[in-house]
Structure 1
Amino acid sequence: MPSADPWVGSWRPHRPRGPIAAMYGSPGPKYSLPGLTGEKLHCVTKFKAPNYSFGIRHDLSGSPHFSISPGPRYLVPPNITRQGRDGTPAFSLHSRPKEPRIAQAPAPGHYSPEKSTKSVFRSSPAFSLSGKTKEGTNDRVPGPATYHLPEVIGPKTVVTSSAPVYSLCGRSKTGGFAEDLKKTPGPAAYRVVDSCLYKEKPPQFSMTGRNFAPGETTKKPGPGAYRPEMVTSTKSKAPSFSFGLRHSEYIAPLIVDRTE
C-alpha cells in the first residue's frame, strides 16, 4: 500500500519496527542492578560466598592462642634415629679427653685419732706468741676517738643554750651614723608608672608629617593650553577653502547604468 508521506532523498518516513529510546522521556535501561559475583559492588540483598585472596599472612604473634614455633628449620643429623644414635664410629679432629679419675678414699692408716684431743676431750686453754692474722678480725667497729660530740661553747651549740657573743668585725656603713646620705637615689631614679595603665587613656596626637595618598604622576595641560576660539563642534562654522590639488578634466566620469 503506497504511503502518503513524501520521500526524503532516498528514504521515506515509516513506522518503526521496534521501540526507540528517543520516543521515551525516561533514561531507559541506563540503571543496572548490582552484580552477584565478585567482592566489590555486590548486591546487599543476596547471599555472598566467602572469597579468598593471595595476600600476605598477617602477624598473629599478639594473639594468646597463637603458638610461636620456629617451624621445620632444625637440621637433624643423619645418625640420629628415633631410638638415639645409630652407633657408627665417628671421628673428629679434637684431642682425646682425659679419663675421669676414680675417687681415692683415704686408707685407715691415714687417720690420726691422737690429734683429736681438743675436739673430743676437754683441754686447758693454750696461748701463743704469734701475731694476730688479719683474716680473723671480722668485727671492724669504730673506736671511741672516732665519734665527735657537738660543741657546747660558742654560738653554734645544739644541746645547750648559748650566751650572746660578739665579734670584732668592722661596722657596716649602711644604716650607721657614718652613712653618706648623698649616695641615696633621688626622685628621678625611680620609674614613674604611666597613669594610662590604671586610668582612662586620653587621645594622643603626634607631630609626624602628613601622609598623602599616591596620585597620578602624568603631566596635565594647563588653562593656557586650550583654545576655545577654534572649537567648531558647538557653534556654526564659516566655509573654509583650501589650496588643494585640482583634478584633471580628462578623467573619465563615473558611469552608472540606469534602467527605466
Structure 2
Amino acid sequence: PGPGAYGLPTTIGYEKHDNRKQRMPQYSFGIRTNVSGKDAGPGPGAYQVDKLTRYGKGGGLEYTMAPLTKFKDKGFGPGPGAHDVHLKPMFKGTEAPAYSMAARHNFNFKKCGPGPSAYMYDINNVKQAAPKYSMGIQTKVLGKNNSPGPAAYGAGDLNLRLNRAPEYS
C-alpha cells in the first residue's frame, strides 16, 4: 500500500488523539473570543442610510450654540503678493496673541536666572586643592600588562562539585 493508506490516529490536538501516546494539556495563549456572534455588531438594516449625505446627517433641523459664521467675499481682502510676511512681525510680544478665560500669569524667562556668561570662577581654586577623602571604594582600571593571561589559572579538580565520572581499568 502507498502512503496515506492506513488511517492512523493523530498525535496532534485533542480530538481523535491516539490513546497510546501521551496527550499534553490543552492551553491557549490568549483570551477566548466570543464565537456565538451575539456581540459581533449591528446587523444589516440597523442604519438609516437614506438620511446620510456626504456632509453628514441630513434631514431635519439642527440647532447649535455656536454663532453663525458669515463668509466674506473673496475680493474683499488683499490679493496674492500684496503683503510681505518678512517685512515686520504681526506682534511684538514673546507669545502669540491668544484669548482665554483664566487670569494671565506673567512668567518672565529673563528673570529666571543669570545668563551663560554671568558665572565667574577662580581657576586657581580649581587647579590646586587640598587633599580630599571619599567614603566610597576606589577602583583602578588595570592595563593589559597588569592583568593575568588565559593560562594563569589552574583548572582544578572538576570532580569536587560534580559526581565523579566512572573509572575503568
TM-score clears 0.5: no
**Shorter-chain TM-score tier:** under 0.3
State the TM-score, normalized to the length of structure 2: 0.24
Larger radius of gyration: 1
State the TM-score, normalized to the length of structure 1: 0.18
